[in-house]
Structure 1
């Protein structure tokens, strides 16, 4: 049986580990604060004692209990009950955090993939595969494979292009991952970067034609129709003019974006197309 210790809040580093939670829901946090104010904290947090903390820094790192720690701080408490664990290394501490959150909290698919990529970026695991297998070792192979695919999406697209990546469903991220395996990652990032529509729904509609192209190509591959190095899906013909090719329900479209994508330029392009096919109206 582990003893419960009372630890000063100033002695706990909540950011000692990469976390699988991007944000805390205000309504749920308010409910937790009200519960703690009325009944007290019924479940201690988990920390570990750092082996070599820097001077004037917290001596303990938080393993699990971010919501509880945040709520207690907001209530003005100065201490919190905690179990002091002794994980063999930081990677083990992260696995403890993930295991608890799988039981207690609704962590979005994007947040799970983000945790895997961050843990590798910080040198806690050598590869995305190793991070996934360690952090989510209690899950079966198929669920770990889905999280591994989520990590690929996070690594390729990153947090900065999507307005609310944590709102993406598992099915949406799975479809993006499929398109990445078809080498459509550069097309997706170009579409997101050059689009002026930044709402989550508009961003999904922006990349949906690309995902549909990948899925259709898997059903009816037509690579034999192209010469080596083709098909091209993006082109930057000038510094302020981007072109990308998109599949549509009844054909194809070329989308021109950038400051130089003007109406007169479109007229020139239509003239060039008519010249190519010999149907220009003069």
Structure 2
């Protein structure tokens, strides 16, 4: 039987590995804290002894919620299984396996863990990270997580206010647009929009997603000149123009500090001048 060891909380590095949680739910954490205060900690955490010199000689594998709750209660030690994983990747797989059982992890958080693991050099590719971390899932579910990782890698955490609230279907639709080379258009739309709530951000990029999906449904593509269609133009450093599909046509969206009323008047005059006469 594996023995547990009482380890000082100050000796545990909770951030030694990339984690698949962006945040801990306050209500669930409070319930766990109350349970530990009443009954004690019934399930030890898992750690491994780090080889590098550090103020915290142990790295956390699994049990972030238990560790956080115990620290909040003012405990000084915590029971732990000291594991000896063959490498860090194996430790991360243990952490993922526990969280898959104990708590719902959002699709974005799963994709984020894959991309961070590659960025940290723990895996060479997104495919390798997905196959190792989610080895217990079938091929189709791993493919979905791989698509989520592509979205996280392209868009990142900084452009979306609450990316963990995106559903799997929403992320799948974004991934489809990325494969249609609309990533720069999506990131520009998010970066230049003043609307920062999750719902508003989704509405901002929805026309782009709809265009990609409509193009995939159309059996024949319209004829364009080379290097067309153009969906975005940066005519000035502080003026951005995006072309968007609407339910009944197309719109040109002007954003940036130089998108002023007088400029719109000049543009309307230019459109009227160039396209108002029958040729």
The answer to whether the aligner puts 1:54 opposite 2:53 as a matched pair is yes
Structure 1 residue 271: Cα displacement:
1.2
Task: Report the equivalent of 1:45.
Answer: 45
DSSP-derived class of the 2:113 partner: helix
The Cα offsets for residues 166-188 of structure 1, whole Å up to 9 and x where unpaired, read as 11011100000000000000000
Partner Cα separation in structure 1 for residue 277 and residue 270 of structure 2: 10
2:61 is the alignment partner of 1:82 = no
In terms of mean alpha carbon deviation, does 28-37 or 268-277 score higher? 268-277
1:21 aligns with 2:21: yes
TM value normalised by structure 2: 0.97
Helix, strand or coil at the partner of 1:231: coil
Measured in 2, the distance between the counterparts of 1:258 and 1:53 equals: 48
Q: Which runs of 5+ in 2 are unaligned?
A: none
Matched residue SS, 2:146:
helix
Deviation at 1:279, TM superposition (A): 4.1
**Could you tell me which residue of structure 2 aligns to residue 165 of structure 1?**
163
Q: After superposition, what is the alpha-carbon deviation per residue over 1:190-243, rounded to whole angstroms, capped at 9, x for unaligned?
A: 000000000000000000000000000000055451122111111000111100
2:4 aligns with 4
* Equivalent position of 1:111 in the other structure: 109
Deviation readout 1:237-263 (Å, 9 max, x if unpaired)? 011110000000011000001111111
Q: Deviations over 1:29-56 (max 9, x none)?
A: 0000000000000100011111x2315x
Count of residues in Structure 1 that have an aligned counterpart in Structure 2: 278
Work out which of the residue numbers 136, 139, 145 in structure 2 matches 1:138. 136
Asked whether 1:199 is paired with 2:204, we answer no
RMSD between superposed Cα atoms in Å: 1.1
Alpha carbons of structure 1 residues 258 and 221: separation in structure 2 relative to 1, 3 Å: farther
* TM-score, length basis structure 1: 0.96
- Secondary structure of the residue that 1:15 maps to in structure 2? coil
**Corresponding residue for 2:213?**
215
After superposing on structure 2, the runs of 4+ consecutive aligned residues of structure 1 that deviate more than 4 Å are: none
What secondary structure, in the 3-state scheme, does the structure 1 residue paired with 2:274 have?
Answer: helix
Task: Measure how far apart 1:272 and its partner are.
Answer: 1.1
CA distance in structure 2 between the partners assigned to 1:164 and 1:186 by the alignment: 20
Q: Distance in 2 between matches of 1:175 and 1:276?
A: 37
- Identify unmatched segments of 5+ residues in structure 1: none
CA distance in 2, matches of 1:78, 1:277: 76
